[in-house]
Every structure is written in structure tokens, then in C-alpha cells.
């Protein structure tokens, strides 16, 4: 039975990926600073992976087959200083996993590491990130892939796009709209809504991530995406209607962010290969 170590296992995305892996019949070592849902085949390890004293061998007897590193703070706050302050901690953890002998390591990336881009983001799209979040993800990707190649480790960088679903606990715009509607607000200040993005539900994303780490033939940068652009306004209007929310978007109250493209989506070639479609 394959063993997968997943960090950030009780987080917004990580909790769904933990369930997806458990459903696939693999042994899961779920690492986080707080314990999540009890699931068959899942062993919880409550620890701070950034600690100098952290050693996986203190908690498990054998080296996992795969490490899926998803732990990340403040992912929806793109210019939070924690992204840069935590960067060396993420790299130290990945080095520990390589030195421990883990032969396959996957890390959660983001389309924000690319920065401003119009059109499909492919594996070789140049990166010029415009936020601290994007800069830190881009830096970690470069260092991780370089060191993994040097050590002969199968490396996968799973680049996420725009996520929705399980929204009440999310810090995304979807979660903010739900909370505003529940608070009795009837208008929600919004941007122009014209920008087009690649949206994927957190459930679909989790299935894609699980499929990626349970194989090792497709490696490198893998876009976890739909491959289809949709305008933010159209997506949010659809979301409001589907959830029966009594709230109206107040277009133009906020400016569009200068580092957001009028249209950007993922090239789904590699994820389609992973999923066999």
C-alpha cells in the first residue's frame, strides 16, 4: 500500500485532498498544526513542520512513498509578509524530505507565480510575479525543482488556479459573498467583473491533486485546472443564483487589481494526461 504524507492536511484545500487520497485506498500521514477529520487509513501528526526540531521519524516508522506539501499561510492575502518570511521554512522542510529519502515530492503552486499574463498558462510560460505570494511561490518552485533534479527525486509542481466550493470557511470572494448575504447585506462592492479566469471547484481540484501524486510518469509543472476561461462577473452571478442569495453585485466599486490579466487560464494538456481524458 502506497503511503502519502500530506502537509496542511486540515486546511481549506488540504482537508479535501486528504479525503480524496483516503478514498483511493492509500495510507495517508496527515501533518498539520491542528488535527482534522478522523478517516480510515489516515494517521494524524500534529506538529510544526517549520520547527528546527521537527523530524518525521519521531512520528512514523517508515519513509513515505510520496510527500505532498500543501501547507501555506495567508494564501488569500497576496501581500502578507508571511509569504516571504516563511519561504526558507518551506525550503528547509522539502530538503528534510529529500534527505530522508522520499523519492516523489509534490508541492502546491499557484498561477499567481506567473504574474501578469494573457491567455493560456503553459509549463514553460515565463514568470514575473507581482505579489509577495507569487514571488514566494515562484522562488520555492525554482529552488525545489533544481534541488530535486540534483538528488534524482520525482518532482511535481501542482499549479492551482481559481478555487470555489466549501465556501463558508473560505477566505475567497465566494466565502465573503456568502457571509455578507447571511449578515443581511443586499449589495456587495465588486470590481468590473470582466476579467476571465480558470475556475475549478475544490472537490475537482482535490481529485486532480490526488491523481497527480498517485502516479509518477507525469512530473514537473502540472496545471490543476479546467482549461476553460470564464468571466469573474459571470461566475459570481451564477454562484449567487445557484445558492439563492439575496445580494446584488455593485460593479465598479473596486478597481481591478493591476496584476490581474483580462483573461488567463491553464493549459490542461498534462492534467488531461494524468486523468486519462
DSSP assignment of 43-56: EEEE--TTSTT--G
| pLDDT, tens digit, 9 for 90 and up, residues 183-214 | 999 999 999 999 999 999 999 999 999 999 99
**Cell triple for residue 187?**
449589495
Q: Considering Cα of 61, then 27, then 65, then 19, what sign does the dihedral take?
A: negative
Annotate 160-174 with b (16+ C-beta within 10 A) or e (fewer).
Answer: bbbbbbbbeebebbb
Q: What is the pLDDT of residue 73?
A: 94
pLDDT of residue 260: 76
Q: Are 209 and 20 in contact (CB under 8 A)?
A: yes
pLDDT of 23 reads 94
pLDDT given at position 124? 95
Whether 133 sits among the annotated catalytic residues: the reply is yes
What pLDDT is recorded for position 169? 67
In the block, residue with C-alpha cell 525550503: 91
What pLDDT, on the 0 to 100 scale, is given for residue 211? 98
Residue-level pLDDT at 166:
80
Cβ 200 vs Cβ 162: under 8 Å: yes
Per-residue pLDDT reduced to its tens digit, 39-84:
999 999 999 999 999 999 999 999 999 999 999 999 889 999 999 9
The pTM score is 0.92
Contact 45, 31 (CB under 8 A): yes
Q: Phi/psi zone of residue 244: left (φ > 0), alpha (ψ -120 to 50 degrees), beta?
A: left
Identify any residues that bridge with 197 across adjacent strands, giving them in sequence order.
230
Residue 251 CB contacts under 8 Å (≥ 6 apart), including other chains: 190, 191, 192, 193, 233
pLDDT of residue 50: 95
Closest CA to 249 of 191, 197, 207, 187: 187
CA gap 102, 214 in Å, rounded: 14
pLDDT value of position 76: 84
For the chain, the distance separating the N- and C-terminal CA atoms, rounded to the nearest angstrom, is: 26
Task: Quote the cell numbers at residue 24.
Answer: 483511493
State the Cα–Cα distance between residues 270 and 211, nearest whole angstrom.
12
Over pLDDT 70: what percentage of the chain? Answer: 99
Which tens digits make up the pLDDT trace of 85-98?
999 999 999 999 99
Asked whether residue 126 carries a pLDDT value surpassing 70, the answer given is yes
List of domains in the chain: 3-163+200-227+267-275 (3.40.50.720), 165-195+229-250 (no CATH)
pLDDT in tens, 232-270: 999 999 999 999 999 999 999 998 877 678 999 999 999
Q: What is the mean pLDDT of the chain?
A: 95
H or E element: which one contains 160?
strand 154-160
C-alpha gyration radius of the chain: 19
Catalytic residue among 91, 116, 133, 259, which?
A: 133
Gap between the Cα atoms of 187 and 251, Å rounded: 10
pLDDT category at 277 given cuts 50, 70, 90 is confident
Amino acid at each position: 500500500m502506497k503511503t502519502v504524507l500530506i502537509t496542511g492536511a486540515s486546511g481549506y484545500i488540504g482537508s479535501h485532498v486528504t479525503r480524496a487520497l483516503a478514498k483511493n485506498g492509500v495510507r495517508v500521514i496527515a501533518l498539520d498544526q491542528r488535527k482534522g477529520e478522523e478517516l480510515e487509513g489516515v494517521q494524524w501528526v500534529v506538529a510544526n513542520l517549520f520547527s528546527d526540531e521537527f523530524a518525521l521519524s519521531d512520528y512514523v516508522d517508515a519513509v513515505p512513498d510520496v510527500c505532498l506539501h500543501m501547507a501555506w499561510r495567508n494564501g488569500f492575502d497576496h501581500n502578507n509578509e508571511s509569504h516571504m518570511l516563511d519561504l526558507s521554512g518551506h525550503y528547509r522542510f522539502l530538503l528534510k524530505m529529500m534527505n530522508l529519502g522520499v523519492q516523489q515530492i509534490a508541492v502546491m503552486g499557484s498561477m499567481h507565480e506567473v504574474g501578469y499574463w494573457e491567455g493560456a498558462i503553459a509549463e514553460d510560460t515565463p514568470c514575473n510575479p507581482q505579489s509577495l505570494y507569487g514571488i514566494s511561490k515562484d522562488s520555492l518552485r525554482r529552488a525545489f525543482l533544481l534541488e530535486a533534479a540534483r538528488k534524482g527525486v520525482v518532482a511535481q509542481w501542482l499549479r492551482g488556479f481559481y478555487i470555489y466550493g466549501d465556501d463558508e470557511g473560505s477566505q475567497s470572494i465566494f466565502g465573503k459573498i456568502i457571509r455578507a448575504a447571511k449578515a443581511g447585506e443586499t449589495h456587495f462592492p465588486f470590481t468590473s467583473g470582466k476579467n476571465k479566469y480558470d475556475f475549478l471547484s475544490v472537490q475537482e481540484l482535490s481529485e486532480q491533486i490526488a491523481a497527480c501524486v498517485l502516479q509518477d510518469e507525469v512530473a514537473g509543472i502540472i496545471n490543476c485546472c479546467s482549461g476553460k476561461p470564464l468571466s469573474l462577473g459571470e461566475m459570481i452571478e451564477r454562484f449567487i443564483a445557484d445558492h439563492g442569495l439575496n445580494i446584488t453585485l455593485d460593479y465598479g466599486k473596486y478597481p481591478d487589481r493591476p496584476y490581474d490579466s483580462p483573461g488567463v487560464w491553464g493549459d490542461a494538456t498534462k492534467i488531461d494526461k494524468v486523468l486519462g481524458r
